[in-house]
Amino acid sequence: MSRREAGILLHLSSLPGTCGIGDLGPAAYRFVDFLKDAGQTYWQMLPIHPVDPVFGSSPYSSHSAFAGNPLFLSPEWFIDRGLLRETDVGVMVPADQPVDYSKVIIEKQGWLRQAFKRYFLNGEPKEFQGFCSAEREWLRDYGLFVVIASCHGGKAWNTWMEGLKHRDEDSCRDFRQEHRQEIRYVEFLQFCFDRQWKTFKEYCRKKEIRLIGDIPIYVNFNSADVWSHPERFKLDGNGEPVYVSGVPPDYFSATGQRWGTPVFDWPRIKEDGYRWWRRRLRRMFGLFEMIRIDHFRGLVQYWEIPAEEKTAINGRWVDGPKDDFLEMIRRELPQADIIAEDLGLITPDVEEIMRKFDLPGMKLMLFGFAQDKTHPYLPRNYPRHCVAYTGTHDNNTVLGWWRKDASAKEKKNVRAYFGEPFDEQNLPDLFLRDLYASEAGRVIVPLQDILGLGEESRMNIPGQTHGNWKWRFSFDQLTDEQAARLRKLSAKRI
């Protein structure tokens, strides 16, 4: 028998604190302490890249696949180093108030600018130079992209001045010289993120808490990644996408989903040995111990939609890199611990590749009540080699699902499954009980379900572009009794 591994799904933004958004400050360390006391092994997060309020502040929509989100920078770190005074920061909002991204950006940029000026008062420190040199392969393009985009009012890179749009060497050099300070500020924020993250990760290591990160398989068109390497995507001569990503029509949507991000030109990417992907994976495994690859099936086959199409109906399946890509990961990162997000339409070839490379998939208990007791997403049917969840960031909470989303058939199946009358308020506890009693080797539960919260605490509603990613909790909601309950549930040997 082996020890059950368990953890909590919680994005950094959902931590409490007075700066309007969760960050890498004291609350992050306090939550690690709670995880340790509760007998947990993992803290799973959503992507930690910069977000754009114009596009709903989604962590799955970023202008960089490498950069950290400066909104997660903690003022305490700057105060400890004499770069800020407490009066420079002040108190913005109650510790658990929902995130107002536009306000947070304005307020944090104010004191981050002050810290930047003080840091460079006596020249450019060697530790900063060392960081820029070590991360040059992505940081140099990223800093340049952010400042050029700002000078163009945030417009997409394919609308910029010709020289900058096509990365003409002379044009980029002249722009870099003219905007040197602004570029250095962007690089400074990444330097600070790197230092704060490393200190935080070391604390997690000492507490024996492993961090799980999340890689969205696609990247935004208007990103440093596409601008700096357009040849790796299916674009035309004007830099416009020829095809975009999505998924075909299914039970949930008669027109499918048109995500709109450019699709990879996998043959071209393979020609240089997956260099960009190798850098991306190395970067992510430097930040996290384990990675969830979102939309894993896109590495086997992906749905390619002509860019002019308004829906996903007229797309087609195209082969991805398949075994060759995963063999590259095995060579490049032999110890890489990967979770394959295998929700939705999964075909036998995807299942075969997951078996071949011994990759655990995901089981969502909320999806298990659409059929009878044989449904593979019900805990009694879980294999050991999987990661089991009540739901994810894209689902309602258990209580919210029961009250709003569950069909009459699903409610009937829930009652038959548990075989007992129950108070709906206790339904999250019943879900947790059976999830932890399963044979799944790893169990990850969103904090909202541990706290027994309703729809008002939902993190994201897919297809809704605004109003998501705002939820935050309070440490008053976490009790010693909850820690003891989780510790007992997690102690099961499997």
Catalytically annotated residues: 294, 341, 394
429: tokens are 């506890």
d(CA 208, CA 202): 10
Bridge partner residues of 7 (DSSP): 42, 444
d(CA 353, CA 480): 43
Question: Which stretch of DSSP H or E encloses residue 42?
Answer: strand 42-44
Residue 303 contacts residue 245 (beta carbons within 8 Å): yes
d(CA 44, CA 211): 6
Strands 316-319 and 386-389: unpaired
Q: In 10 A of CB 94, how many CB atoms? A: 13
d(CA 413, CA 407): 10
Residue 464 contacts residue 470 (beta carbons within 8 Å): no
d(CA 494, CA 475): 31
Torsion angle, alpha carbons of 15, 19, 24, 30, to 10: -50
**Hunting for tokens 């969760």 — which residue is that?**
22
Buried b (16+ CB within 10 A) or exposed e, 221-234: bbbbbbbbbbebbb
**Hunting for tokens 């992906």 — which residue is that?**
302
d(CA 359, CA 350): 11
DSSP readout, 359-423? --EEEEGGGGGSS-TT-TTSGGG--SSEEEES--TTSPPHHHIIIII--HHHHHHHHHHHTS---
DSSP readout, 250-316? -SS-TT-EEEEEEPB-HHHHHHTTSHHHHHHHHHHHHH-SEEEEETGGGGTEEEEEETT-SSSTT-E
d(CA 475, CA 321): 45
Q: In 10 A of CB 352, how many CB atoms? A: 13
Query: Among residues 400, 456, 447, which one has the least CA distance to residue 425?
Result: 400
